[in-house]
Amino acid sequence: MTHPILKFVGSTHNSDGQETVNASQHRQAIDHQYTGERAHGRALRKMLEGWAEYADACKSQFDGLIGECDYVLAPRWAAIGENLRALLAGPVCGWDCGSLNHSIREYQEANGCEVAP
């Protein structure tokens, strides 16, 4: 199952109920099993999912947001998010990097962390 951090941000279906081209391309690219020369796509996907899952685990274990419960690791977790956003500054494996950038920022805010402008 794909973690919500990897979702497409924007209109996913058009007026006749069909998936939009952009949403379809993003979903297919995210779901692709990258190997060989493009194995970095698989690694980057795992980094994004692991980063988000860490905050989810903190919420589950400590019954609170990482930004409110862990004053030592929270700034470092948020910095990892900023670095992931930097990795997504250009075209990556056919992904809609704008959607991923937006999702990372939303995740940082939703987990009680300040987001760099």
Q: 51, 84 in Cβ contact below 8 A?
A: yes
DSSP 17: S
In a domain, 1, yes or no: no
Residue 65 domain boundaries:
12-110
In a domain, 117, yes or no: no
**pLDDT band at 106, cuts 50/70/90?**
very high
pLDDT digits (tens, 9 = 90+) for 7-66: 888 999 999 999 999 999 988 888 887 777 778 888 899 999 999 999 999 889 888 899
Q: How far apart are the C-alpha atoms of 17 and 40, rounded to whole Å?
A: 33
Burial of 42 (0-12, 13-18, 19+ CB in 10 A): middle
Burial of 81 (0-12, 13-18, 19+ CB in 10 A): buried
Domain total in the chain? 1
